[in-house]
């Protein structure tokens, strides 16, 4: 049975950590629009240049660009058994665009996505973002404040270099929150009304959140 999971939550709420774990355990591709856009920026493409001008201001990249990237990605063969969407959709407009994409892709299939909403008090999240570091090699995520690393520049899993994202500075992080509350938060109501929203308490530990997440999948998808 095809499994489609969508993750919504404010920046720094832990979606990346959970979706990477889920992707490994469920053998489903982890599709993270932020990372796909950063890849375009690193490759120096026109799309990357355009995306960067929005990302550095903490704004959403235009829908034509991001929905095109998502559609192409969802059509790849590794999405046949399902996928994990992290960071898309991020606006009502994108949610309706995704409906159209899924109607086309899942034409003859009876499949309903589950939408996980990471609920957390946003006050502590700015601090989390500013202290976030990501391994440039394996993508592991660290928090310099809560995880005491021997060497704050090296990944403990693979030895890769730990980098700080350019938009994880206080000024841009604040703008990203504003964008989230104005444009992404309305999705919670939309998916709640459709009966496919699962709320997760994202203030818990990584292990507890993952237990609740996988528990919800078992109850909702397999029963």
Question: CA dihedral defined by 199, 202, 206, 208, rounded to 10 degrees?
Answer: -50
Which listed residue (6, 22, 31, 60) binds ligand AMP by CB under 6 A? 60
Nearer to ligand AMP, 66 or 155 (CB): 66
Which listed residue (87, 97, 191, 213) binds ligand AMP by CB under 6 A? 87
Known active-site residue 132: yes
Annotated catalytic residue within 15, 20, 38, 133 = 15
Query: Per-residue string for binding with ligand AMP, 168-197, x by CB under 6 A?
Result: --------x---------------------
Nearer to ligand AMP, 11 or 14 (CB): 11
Binding residues for ligand AMP restricted to 32-51, rule: CB under 6 A: 33-34, 37
> Tokens 């391994």 belong to which residue?
135
Question: CA dihedral defined by 165, 169, 171, 173, rounded to 10 degrees?
Answer: 60
The Cα 8–Cα 3 span in angstroms is: 17
11 part of the interface to ligand AMP, by CB under 6 A: yes
For residues 144 and 40, the answer to whether their CB atoms sit within 8 Å is: no
């Amino acid at each position: 049975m095809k499994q489609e999971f969508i993750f919504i939550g404010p920046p720094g709420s832990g979606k990346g950590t959970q979706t990477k774990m889920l992707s490994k355990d469920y053998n489903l591709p982890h599709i993270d629009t932020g990372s796909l856009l950063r890849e375009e920026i690193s490759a120096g493409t026109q799309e990357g240049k355009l995306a960067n001008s929005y990302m550095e201001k903490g704004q959403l990249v235009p829908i034509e660009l991001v929905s095109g990237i998502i559609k192409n990605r969802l059509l790849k063969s590794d999405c046949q058994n399902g996928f994990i969407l992290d960071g898309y959709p991020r606006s009502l407009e994108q949610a309706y665009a995704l409906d159209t994409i899924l109607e086309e892709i899942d034409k003859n299939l009876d499949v309903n996505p589950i939408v996980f909403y990471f609920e957390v008090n946003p006050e502590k999240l700015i601090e989390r973002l500013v202290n976030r570091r990501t391994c440039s090699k394996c993508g592991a995520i660290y928090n310099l404040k809560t995880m005491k690393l021997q060497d704050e520049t090296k990944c403990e899993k693979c030895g890769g270099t730990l980098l700080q994202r350019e938009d994880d500075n206080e000024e841009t992080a604040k703008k990203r929150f504003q964008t989230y509350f104005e444009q992404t938060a309305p999705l919670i109501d939309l998916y709640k009304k459709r009966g496919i929203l699962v709320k997760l308490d994202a203030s818990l530990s990584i292990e507890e959140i993952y237990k609740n997440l996988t528990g919800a999948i078992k109850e909702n998808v397999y029963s």
